[in-house]
Structure 1
Amino acid sequence: MPHHHNFDIVEDDEKDVPAKNKCLTCLRTNALTIATVAGVVLGAVLGIILRQTKDEWTERQIMYIGYVGAVFLQMLKSLILPLIVASLVSAIASLDLSLSGKIAARAIAYYLTTTFAAVVLGIVLVVTIKPGAGQSDLESSSSEDTRNTTTVDTLLDLVKNMFPPNLVEACIFQYRTNLVASDENETDIYKFSIETETVQTTNILGLVVASAVVGIAIAQLGDETRTIANIFHNLMALMMKITTWVITLSPVGIMFLVAAEVLEMENIGSVMSSLGMYFATVCIGLLIQGLVVLPLLYVALTRKNPITFVSHLGQAIATAFGTASSSATLPVTIRCLEDKIGVDRRVARFALPIGATINMDGTALYEAVAAIFIAQVRNVSLDFGKLVAISITATAASIGAAGIPQAGLVTMVMVLDTVGLPSEDVSLILAVDWLLDRFRTAINVMGDAFGAAIVDHRSQKELKELTPATPRNSVEENKDMGQQTTDGEKTPEINGGLQEAS
């Protein structure tokens, strides 16, 4: 075997070998997706086989079948609180306020606007199309919410819960208004006595607001709070690792959840048809968000051609679809914006990591659609107040979702809790979630990229007043962007050591 005297020759030889290696790398990269699909298929097969063995399965027997899946859901629920608090505080504390208050404000305003627009779009589509309507075989297994309340009270409760008097108590309880008839003959609900009751469920909205305030304070104080900022950065990294472990167990949990769900169904064909409508509804929403809403916003604010912009993002979109991870796609997105589109590196390296954490248009749309779809399947009516609650919670959930494959399952449980649906109902959408995860990740990355480009275009004046940036299209610089990621790209060192944004 000839000796190699430089790295170029070695790299060329390695490129000749890899047909097999590329296949193995592809399988390793998509191992979780493949295992998840296998879990769904095996769960469905197991459920169908068990259905054939007995005419009727009791509730206790079905509970035994789905026990492993129930434990998996408990593990997901345990991640909600630390994951959302750590990710929000870490992301907001990483804001480089020295860059320019106006630039930061533009980025945050864009991200919140597009995320909320995606939620509203999803709600409009699912309420209009009604993919889960007519499923009489799946009547609600949850206890009906029989309390008396009005839409106004629901909205007022949302605002009150955003400012909990006790943050420790907010981790366990939230308050809500309950109207009690003072007279049996009284029919006007607005004349009922007003009482306040506590519900044993995490007050997510209150914790989101508290986390945002803490993050902003840390960002403004700068060096004075560097230690506590690093604590939250480390906590975020810790939670990402634990979340990855739990998600790795999802194929097994999903298999038993699906098997138990199949045993509960009376008409499998009808449910599969409804699931197809749900899949189509989410895809239509993602297409409208990615090909209409975001490009129109880009044209309106920059007067540039969005088709050219998207064509330069091809590698990032493909990476997002292939990995289903906005974190893994981050270095590719930064390279596309800096090298191909010419976005100022200061804006790209500020806006994209923050966007990858708090701007998840596709995830927000999907969670809103999924929650209402499940409510339709379970024949649970949703008034305007609950729709508003879903929109706010889905927005908050997408902000707190980790940028790793299928992490939306964690926050999906939170959204279901908001409308009083059992968390086990997440199994209704698992059969197609693995594929939708890839589509919504691609939209997430597109939204981040459009946002960075818009902020760059609108911030030229502020950028000129700041310290001159290094050349925009420096390929050599990109070779030193930081540490290697699993897919061979490099993760930039961003915002004082927050190396990977979710």
Structure 2
Amino acid sequence: MAIVYRIGAAFVLGSIAGLTIGEPVMVLEPLGDLFVRLLSMIVVPIIIFTLLMGIKELSPTSLGKIGGQVVAIYAVSSMIAVTIGLAVANLIEPGTGMTLTDADFEADEAPSFMDVFLGIVPENPIEAMATGDILATIFFVIVFGLALVLLRESTDDESVRDGVETVFNVAEAGSKALFKVVWGIMEYGVIGIFALMAVAFAEAGIEVFSTFAMLALTLILAVTIHIAVVYLGVMILLLTQQSPIAFLAGIKDALLTAVSISSSSATLPVSMSNADDNLHLNEGIYSFSLPLGATINMDGTGMYLGIVAIFAANIVGASLTLVEQVTVVAIAVLAGIGTAGVPSAGLILMTLVLTQVGLPVAVVGFIAGIDPLLDRIRTMTNVTGDLAVATLVGYWNGGVDFTSGSWSGETDLLPGAD
């Protein structure tokens, strides 16, 4: 049975166990705590190795006009997505009325914006990694990775070039090894999530269902606003002056695939096929934009991180300052390039965000059971954004034919239609 179904079953069975057995099920609490600790264990290694792998693919020639446009739009879109997620969460306030008794929270004095800005640059990068300072770790790895890329392109010394490739090869091997570790953690997660849900329902009772429903509603509303306004309204209708309906008709296969398998990377072949056959984009544009988007475009996950941060704060009876909410935006955008292709990236990024703003990581385990369901919504958002950005960049560079394909009504919006 696929892991997503086993996690779903663990979520349901653990919930039932907590509601029916009650307090005696609290004996399982250490099993849930172990799952949370395992997730926390891999945060920094995941950031280092996968971020280096993402930077490895960059080169001075690929960062030309088109590359600059693609990266800039992804960055702006991600910031907007996280901001929308925070705004909707602040409006709906998911998690209010729910309490995790083991999720202690002590509010520290909020640092100034300048302190947060300067804190991105580590005085000692090794110390930043050891203490779990995520923003500082990301900054150092990006700077170091770009330096390696530039050195590889500029040096005439074969031994130096080989040394750079060795570093990237080690990063690749480390990434693959960490994928195995993540796979193992998620296998154990079936037990961990059962325990977490049993304990949560034993503590909170039936009213916890309304908490999950509000979390899902908040994400769905934020996703709807982002897709309708940013992708369809601004990128397609306003900037390219084309029909959003025609665009959706052209990408329906990719959207259905994304919802089915909840993976931007695995959806990539379908996305590229839709870009070529239905949207009639230039291959030189979509072959660069779509793979890059599958790696760094985290709009759906980004807005969810903002929502989860507010959700976690409400659960522990705290509130996030404006500076802390800006920090959430920064983490989501910067970390997206490194973790988008990682299995269970949403859970890992949740751990990053909650750790950075001082909220309990236990919340990650609490909502992990419904994460596979919400992940499908986030993946659909990411894939829509990938194709919208590719279309916009194609329009700016004369790389899209708006006289044929879905733009001329040659495809049908209804799934399965001829």
> Matched residue of 2:95: which SS?
coil
TM-score (norm 2): 0.86
CA contact (8 A) 1:140 1:379 kept: no
What is residue 251 of structure 1 aligned with on the other side? 190
Task: Give the deviation of 1:431 after TM superposition.
Answer: 4.1
SS, match of residue 303 in structure 1: coil
Q: Distance in 2 between matches of 1:231 and 1:384?
A: 39
Q: Give the count of matched residue pairs.
A: 392
1:215 is aligned, of 145, 148, 156, to: 145
Amino acid aligned to 2:264: S
The answer to whether the aligner puts 1:313 opposite 2:275 as a matched pair is no
Question: Which stretch shows the higher mean deviation, 439-448 or 387-396?
Answer: 387-396
CA distance in 1, matches of 2:7, 2:81: 27
Identity, in percent, stands at 32
Change in Cα spacing, 1:335 to 1:227, as seen in structure 2 (3 Å) is farther
Out of 41, 46, 71, the position equivalent to 1:83 is 46
How far apart are the structure 2 equivalents of 1:457 and 1:218? 33
Cα 1:302/1:240, change in 2 over 3 Å: farther
Distance 1:96 1:347 in 2: 16
1:159-183, Cα deviation, whole Å (9 max, x unpaired) = 122100111100123xxxxxxxxxx
Query: What residue number does 1:156 align with?
Result: 114
Measured against aligned partners, the alpha-carbon deviations of 1:283-333 in whole angstroms (never above 9, x if no partner) come to 111111123211123233322223212211111111111111112111211
Q: Is the 8 A contact 1:364 1:397 kept in 2?
A: no
Match of 2:280 in 1: 342
In structure 2, what is the equivalent of residue 142 of structure 1? 104
Match of 2:232 among 268, 271, 295: 295
Which of 17, 23, 42 aligns to 1:46? It is 17
Q: Greater relative contact order: 1 or 2 (C-alpha under 8 angstroms, separation 6 or more)?
A: 2
- More helix, by proportion: 2
Contact 2:290 2:386 survives alignment (8 Å): yes
Deviation at 1:341, TM superposition (A): 1.6
Contact 2:94–2:310 at 8 Å: present in 1 too? no
Distance 2:50 2:239 in 1: 29
Kindly provide the amino acid, as one letter, of the partner of residue 103 in structure 2: S
* Aligned partner (choices 379, 393, 397) of residue 331 of structure 2: 393
Counterpart Cα distance in 2 of 1:213 and 1:96: 14
2:84 to 121, 132, 138: 121
**Residues 274 and 423 of structure 1: CA distance in aligned 2, closer, same or farther (over 3 Å):** same
Counterpart amino acid of residue 286 in structure 1: V
Mapped contact 2:347–2:368 kept (Cα < 8 A) = no
Tell me, yes or no, if the aligned pair for 1:313 and 1:333 is still in contact at 8 Å. Answer: yes
Aligned mates of 1:375, 1:346 — CA distance in 2: 45
TM-score (norm 1): 0.73
**1:62-102 deviations in Å (ceiling 9; x for gaps):** 3x412122212222112211212222222122024324512
- AA aligned to 1:115 is S
- C-alpha contact (below 8 Å) 2:296/2:340 kept by paired residues: no
Answering whether residue 127 of structure 2 is matched by residue 169 of structure 1, we say yes
- State the alpha-carbon separation in 2 of the partners of residues 158 and 108 from structure 1: 24
Are 1:360 and 2:298 matched, yes or no? yes
Please report how far the alpha carbon of residue 444 of structure 1 lies from its aligned counterpart in structure 2 after TM superposition: 0.9
Q: Is the 8 A contact 1:107 1:451 kept in 2?
A: yes
Specify the code of the residue in structure 2 equivalent to 1:217: A
Conservation of the 8 A alpha-carbon contact between 2:54 and 2:338: no
Q: Residues 114-151 of structure 1, C-alpha deviation per residue, up to 9 Å, x if partnerless?
A: 1110000000000011122233x556731412x444xx
Gap regions ≥5 residues in structure 1: 1-27, 174-201, 464-472, 474-502
- Specify the alignment match of 1:203 in structure 2: 133
Rounded to whole Å, the distance in 1 between the matches of 2:137 and 2:38 is: 20
Q: Is the CA contact 1:338–1:344 (under 8 Å) kept in the aligned structure 2? A: yes
Give the superposition deviation at 1:386: 1.7
How far apart in 2 are the matches of 1:294 and 1:387?
A: 24
Cα distance change of structure 1 residues 74 and 141 upon mapping to structure 2, 3 Å threshold: closer
Quick one: structure 1 residues 291 and 244, their matched pair in 2 at CA, closer, same or farther if it must change by over 3 Å?
farther
Question: How far did residue 405 of structure 1 move?
Answer: 5.2
Match of 1:70 in 2: 33
Q: Give 1:459's aligned residue.
A: 397
Q: Residue 164 of structure 1 aligns to which amino acid in structure 2? A: P
CA spacing shift, 1:330–1:249, aligned 2, 3 Å: farther
> How much has 1:392 moved relative to structure 2?
1.8
Give the conservation status (yes or no) of the 8 Å contact 1:324–1:404.
no
Structure-2 separation of matches of 1:244 and 1:117: 32
The 1:286/1:257 distance shift into structure 2, 3 A limit, reads: same
For 2:70 and 2:284, the matched residues in 1 are separated by 13
8 Å contact from structure 2 (residues 298, 340) kept in 1: no
- 2:383 equivalent in structure 1: 445
Q: Give the match for residue 95 of structure 2.
A: 132
